[in-house]
Amino acid sequence: GENVEQHPSTLSVQEGDSAVIKCTYSDSASNYFPWYKQELGKGPQLIIDIRSNVGEKKDQRIAVTLNKTAKHFSLHITETQPEDSAVYFCAALLEGNEKLTFGTGTRLTIIP
């Protein structure tokens, strides 16, 4: 089955700086890679996703890049704000499968 590794487990950045979270996946047949943000006491919220036929996707301050050859994908948050503080999860979905395999999460803290 698919295995997703996520780094770092914790990340602190100054407000206004950029944050990068990286994930690697094991199965080259995975074709869908979403990122979720989870705030305390809430369910995961889909913030951006990318499919295997695309190398990069951007939505305002958030971008995701995918390197299929190396089997890794990254989340980039620019101009970070205090409300970006949360736990972020990457995930991968295997083609023909229905289940998301999640990374272990990154706790992002934005320092005012």
Partner 1 sequence: DSGVTQTPKHLITATGQRVTLRCSPRSGDLSVYWYQQSLDQGLQFLIQYYNGEERAKGNILERFSAQQFPDLHSELNLSSLELGDSALYFCASSVAGGPGEQYFGPGTRLTVT
Binding site for partner 1 (CB under 8 A): 31-32, 34, 36, 42-46, 49, 51, 89, 93, 95, 97-105
Looking at the Cβ atoms of 84 and 103, the one nearer to partner 1 is: 103
Looking at the Cβ atoms of 25 and 36, the one nearer to partner 1 is: 36
Would you list the DSSP string of 3-27? -EEEE-SEEEEETTS-EEEEEEES-
Instruction: For residues 102 and 55, give the distance between their C-alpha atoms in angstroms, rounded to a whole number.
Output: 20
Please report how close the Cβ of residue 37 comes to partner 1 at its closest, in angstroms.
11
Looking at the Cβ atoms of 61 and 99, the one nearer to partner 1 is: 99
Asked if 18 and 77 touch (Cβ cutoff 8 Å), the reply is: yes
Please report how close the Cβ of residue 56 comes to partner 1 at its closest, in angstroms.
18
Asked if 3 and 101 touch (Cβ cutoff 8 Å), the reply is: yes
